[in-house]
Amino acid sequence: MCARYQLPIDWQNFPMLKPGDFEPNLDVRPTHRMPIGRLIDGNLETEWRHWGFLRSWPGKSGKMTRHQLINAVGEELQAKKSFRNAYETSRCIIPMAAWYEWPTLDGVKTRVEIGLKRRSIFAVAGLFETSEDPATGEPVDTYTMVTVPPNEILGQVHDRSPLVLRLEDHDAWLEGGASAQALIGAYPECDAFYLHPVDVPPQHTLF
């Protein structure tokens, strides 16, 4: 599960972002309003949306509880009612520099930063929709992040990974169909990623 990521100021390394489009955020959290890229009339355009599809369902007490669906399981997109329509019609890409996981490593719960070694900004697969806020009934522009099983390296820190896209795969994901479906799986190159433990005492060797 990816619940935090970062998008710094070096916007020039990602083609859809332009100067002044956004303020850097090194601790993006659910509900934050962040840029995503989607096709509009065949062109990749930037939109600002809030992270997390909004839903409500009864809690243990029977009272309706608001939920944010920040991740969508890639293998279930065509089967899950919450994501089926967005997968078929409303795919997007989410720019980031890295994401975070909190595994227990060497007996210590550790924040680990994960990113690509050769790309300072990259994109992961996402979906977008206009959700209804359960509390107010007002429309909210939202997005969610698609996750897949990890490759061998990423599996050291979590049993799920964002669906990281290679540059050549952006169009296939955005356009959909069989080409997008073929992308749902572990990232093929294990050595493409770095894993950087944050705030770990120097004596700990985790990777």
Please give the single-letter amino acid code of residue 107. G
Asked, for residue 155, whether it belongs to a domain, the answer is: yes
Range(s) of the domain holding residue 93: 5-198
Tens of each residue's pLDDT in the chain, 207 residues: 689 999 986 655 676 666 566 678 999 999 999 999 999 998 888 899 999 999 876 666 666 677 799 999 999 999 999 999 999 999 999 999 999 999 987 778 889 999 999 988 899 999 999 988 888 889 999 999 999 999 999 999 999 999 999 999 999 999 999 999 999 999 999 899 999 988 765 555 555
Record the pTM.
0.91
User: Which one, of 186, 180, 135, lies nearest residue 162 by Cα?
Assistant: 186
Residue 17 within a domain? yes
The CATH number for 174's domain is: 3.90.1680.10
Residue 204 lies in a domain: no
Query: Per the structure block, which two tokens stand in for 90?
Result: 């409303």
Q: How far apart are CA 131 and CA 112, in angstroms?
A: 31
In a domain, 206, yes or no: no
The distance in angstroms from the start CA to the end CA of the chain is 20
Structural domains of the chain, count? 1
Is 22 contained in some domain?
yes
